[in-house]
Amino acid sequence: LTQSNNAEIGVADLRRDYRQRFLNESQIHADPFVQFANWLAEAITAEVMEPNAMSLATVDAAGQPTVRIVLLKHSDHRGLAFYTNYQSRKAAELAGNPRAAVAFWWPELERSVRVEGTTIKTDPSESDAYFARRPFASQIGAVASDQSRPVENRSILEARFDELRAAHPGQSIPRPENWGGYRIVPHRFEFWQGRQSRLHDRIEYLREGDRWVIRRLQP
């Protein structure tokens, strides 16, 4: 492997014009959850790689935003659910401040969706049901990792994985207490469609009382 000492790569002139599609007020659904479901379905059909991957932003006690990618696992009128370790850095941040935001980027469709809301833990029964659906090796992997904590080296992790697998030969294991879901209950959605000359389409849904107010935003 050749290593370079270059800290700078010229990206300033990388740019693309988006011209595939448009988004207007007459196409969108009045219900942002349905609008989101429609766009997610189109991303799946378009064979976007990891269409359910979303950048999840949380905020720590100092007000420092942090962001990482997680996988959306359920989406309905209750909100957007993902699964993680309840002792991870993101979990600690959500315990201190339940506000979170996510962004999806679907390059093949030149689309992005942003969602903001408040996070609650999913019901234990829902986390149990999803954990049971995961492949056995992923179940073991979840138990083997104290997510977000330092580890001396990789072999410690692999040894823990092998031990756990040997202790539960070929079966399913119950969900550990420190693993489960969160649901983002949204109060804002934004649907972004890339357009030509940076005149992109942006449609915002803001929760006001018991209704969603829809507005077009400037790009």
CB of 83 to ligand FMN, least distance (A): 6
Measure the CA–CA gap between 95 and 155, rounded to whole angstroms.
Answer: 31
CB of 67 to ligand FMN, least distance (A): 8
CB of 206 to ligand FMN, least distance (A): 27
Residues of this chain that bind ligand FMN (CB under 6 A): 50, 53, 66, 68-71, 82-85, 88-90, 147-148
Q: Is 160 tagged catalytic? A: no
User: Which H/E stretch holds residue 156?
Assistant: helix 154-167
User: Which H/E stretch holds residue 126?
Assistant: helix 124-133
Which is catalytic among the residues 133, 149, 198, 215? 198
User: Which CB atom, from 35 or from 58, has the smaller least distance to ligand FMN?
Assistant: 58
CB of 57 to ligand FMN, least distance (A): 10
User: Which CB atom, from 18 or from 104, has the smaller least distance to ligand FMN?
Assistant: 104
User: Which CB atom, from 113 or from 203, has the smaller least distance to ligand FMN?
Assistant: 113
User: Which CB atom, from 39 or from 104, has the smaller least distance to ligand FMN?
Assistant: 104
CB 186, CB 32: distance < 8 Å: yes
Query: Catalytic positions, please?
Result: 198
